[in-house]
Amino acid sequence: MAPISSIMGQVQLVGFQSRTGSTGVSEIRALVDQYAKPRLLSIPGVAQIVSIGGAPRQMQITVDADKLRAFEVTLDEVAEAVRKANLNASGGFLNLGAKGPVITVTGRIELEAQMEQAVVKPDERRPVRIADVARVEFGPAAIRTGDAGVNARPGVISVVFKQPGVDTVALTERVNSELKDLATAFPEDVTIVDDVFQQADFIHRAVDNVADAVRDGAVLVVFVLFVFLLNFRTTFITLTAIPLSVAITAIVFSLLGLSINTMTLGGLAVAIGALVDDAIVDVENVFRRLRQNGGARPSLQVIFKASSEVRNPILIGTLLVVVVYLPLFYLTGLEGRLFTPIGIAYIVSTLASLAVSLTVTPVLCYYLLGEFQRRASRGRLAGPQAQACRRRVDPLRDEPSLADPGAAAGDGDERRVRAGHARLGVPARVQ
């Protein structure tokens, strides 16, 4: 049975090669199988290491037929002696109170001399050993399982497979850290290339692309809002819905144990324009009601009533959008795995924008748009047209003939009345 691995489990290809070419590929393969593979398998999250290139290192025992006849030993006896000499065994348990550590007897052969001393035929005076009837050496396997190259030069490739549910980016960082430590133990002529292929690079690139799309969408939203609202304060209040909604979405994801990946960022990119919809409706209605109020009622009361007027439409519109995305959760198979995170991100961010529009937006309207109410209560007009009107009207306030045109006409000063009307821009037929 193969180790349990993820569908997208091939997360990294690691290359091993000689800098000068003095180290053979089979020697590099032996170093990889003996040192690199066990250390990489010890990393949490790694399911399997598959090495390609070179010939696997194996122990080769070449039997001499003449010596077998001389020592009266059969080939089966030699084979049985080899199997018994190269074997790990269990030693049971060691009783230490409440603990019971397992005892393991390591019997794997690491050197030729260890195998040469294995007994084939016991004898009190002269036991027959492997060295008496055969030659023992380590060498490349006769049958090669593949060939590999690194940067157009012969080398060894190790494929790293991950276990299901393991973070690819975090696992890649752990593997690269282990490879840096491993490089210090390898000969100077052997170099490790850890970036032959890394699935984490594609993940980073995809995340960067989605982040750029989110940034561009936010810039376009700012531009469109300012063009249509033509007011810095209302634009600022509306835009606060975007960062607050994204922050709430991140908090919800953290509480639910969901990760920020390419698909969830894609859902946020789709929702970036819809995050300001609820806030726009609320801000526009509040701004309009404050201008219509003219200082008759307190600004807090006007803002509360204006927000209450659009509360039900905002709530119903947001719920309709959420309902539209609910069928994504009923997809199965690969489609469900791909599109479900998009639906989760879109729905959570949209509901977060609804909460912001019902809570934060009215408060910001009170502090930033209440100035219109205070200006109206003091009887001051705002805007360039109002300032131009004051410049034309203020000089005429102290002229009684203009304040009472009829009295001026009775005194025979009709020309002053007409001049005053002309300064005020009153048409001649009205005069």
| Diameter over CA atoms, the chain | 157
Per-residue pLDDT, averaged over 147-159, amounts to: 86
Give the pLDDT score at 176: 92
pLDDT tens for each residue of 180-220: 998 888 888 899 998 888 988 888 887 787 778 778 877 88
Lowest mean pLDDT among 10-24, 232-246, 382-396: 382-396
Q: At the top level of CATH, which class does the domain 231-377 belong to? A: mainly alpha
pLDDT tens for each residue of 33-43: 888 999 999 99
Tokens at 282, concatenated: 């609320």
The residues, ordered by sequence, that sit 6+ positions from 162 with a Cβ below 8 Å of its Cβ are: 5, 6, 9, 11, 45, 46, 47, 168, 171
What are the residue ranges of CATH 3.30.70.1320 in the chain? 1-54+144-199
pTM for this one? 0.60
Q: Are 82 and 88 in contact (CB under 8 A)?
A: no
Residue 379 has pLDDT above 50, yes or no: no
Q: At the top level of CATH, which class does the domain 57-140 belong to? A: alpha beta
What are the residue ranges of CATH 1.20.1640.10 in the chain? 231-377
For residue 7, the tally of other CB atoms under 10 A from its CB is: 8
Give the pLDDT score at 175: 92
The residues, ordered by sequence, that sit 6+ positions from 46 with a Cβ below 8 Å of its Cβ are: 40, 160, 161, 162, 163, 171, 175
Give the pLDDT score at 414: 57
Per-residue pLDDT, averaged over 225-243, amounts to: 82
pLDDT tens for each residue of 157-177: 999 999 887 888 899 999 999
Residue 405 has pLDDT above 70, yes or no: no
Residue 398 has pLDDT above 60, yes or no: no
Per-residue pLDDT, averaged over 341-346, amounts to: 88
What are the residue ranges of CATH 3.30.2090.10 in the chain? 57-140
Angstrom distance (rounded) from CA 360 to CA 276: 13
Tokens 């690969």 — which residue? 334
Residue 396 has pLDDT above 60, yes or no: no
Per-residue pLDDT, averaged over 227-242, amounts to: 82
Q: Are 51 and 156 in contact (CB under 8 A)?
A: yes
Tokens at 280, concatenated: 């726009």
Q: At the top level of CATH, which class does the domain 1-54+144-199 belong to? A: alpha beta
The residues, ordered by sequence, that sit 6+ positions from 213 with a Cβ below 8 Å of its Cβ are: 269
The band of 403, judged by pLDDT with boundaries at 50, 70 and 90, is very low
Give the pLDDT score at 419: 58
Tokens 């989605």 — which residue? 210
